[in-house]
Amino acid sequence: MDLQQLCQSVTEIARSAGAFIKQEAATFDRSKIEMKGFNDLVSYVDKQAEAQLVNDLQKLLPEAGFITEEETATERGETYNWIIDPLDGTTNFTHGLLHFGVSIGLMEGDEMVLGVIYAPMQDECFYATKGNGAYLNDRQIKVSDAPALKDSLIATGFPYYDFSLTQQYLQVLGAFMATSHGVRRIGSAALDLAYVAAGRFEGFFEYNLNAWDVAAGAVIVQEAGGKLSKFTEGGDYVFGREIVASNGNIHSEMLQTIAQHWKKPQP
């Protein structure tokens, strides 16, 4: 399979879905928001964008299965699986905050091999394939070369439905606030990862994430020269519900900072 050629087609598919989302953003009616659970928002825009993505990706790679946020398609493939979030940052979208994106990852076996993240309001398309580098709108990108946490800007996400670990999280947050240039929470894990890859953030951490939040971004960070793990070294950060991404230089410091305060109960 020619991953680079496939990626070019996927970026076109992401841009098409993004164009639909951008069009709907201009006139979105908040009365059409649905609730999947407490603070778990969805809209017809998410659902229609996902249906469009599934339809287009099925034509592109018929043998691939799907892991999708809105469960438009649920059948898994034997070798290839698309992992997609049609609108990462739904809460931002529904409130008129223009920071959200389309996220498409391709997994071959147990390995992520392709990732595309498109931010339609900024017209920024981040993409990467295994072994071929990471790009933003045809320009190759690299992670920041900041050498230490004290030189870094960190991104994170806040808990929005499971608040059982809030106090521990706030301690971790406070530690990063005191040892870095600052912490940002902008509401889209996919774009947080893309920004690490592009050198805008030096690091990102979050828990209670799903595979579709991080799959595409993980490829892009790796191909931009970054490092990924769970809150401890290694682990399955795509399906493991927590992730740390960094420029590599500050990864150990990030893990040490988290470990000082994060005592998640073992199942």
Q: Residues annotated as binding site for Mg(2+)?
A: 69, 85, 87-88, 213
What DSSP string runs through 39-54? Answer: TEEE-HHHHHHHHHHH
Check if the beta carbon of residue 143 is closer than 8 Å to that of residue 197: yes
Tell me how far apart the alpha carbons of residues 170 and 265 are, in angstroms, rounded to a whole number.
16
Nearest CA to 102 out of 210, 16, 204 is that of 16
The DSSP code for 239 is T
The DSSP code for 158 is -
Place of tokens 């320009």: 139
User: Residues 6 or more apart from 250 whose CB is under 8 A from it?
Assistant: 146, 147, 148, 149, 152, 202, 203
Residue 96, burial from CB neighbour count under 10 angstroms (0-12, 13-18, 19+): exposed
Nearest CA to 99 out of 107, 110, 111, 91 is that of 91
Q: State the binding site.
A: 69, 85, 87-88, 213
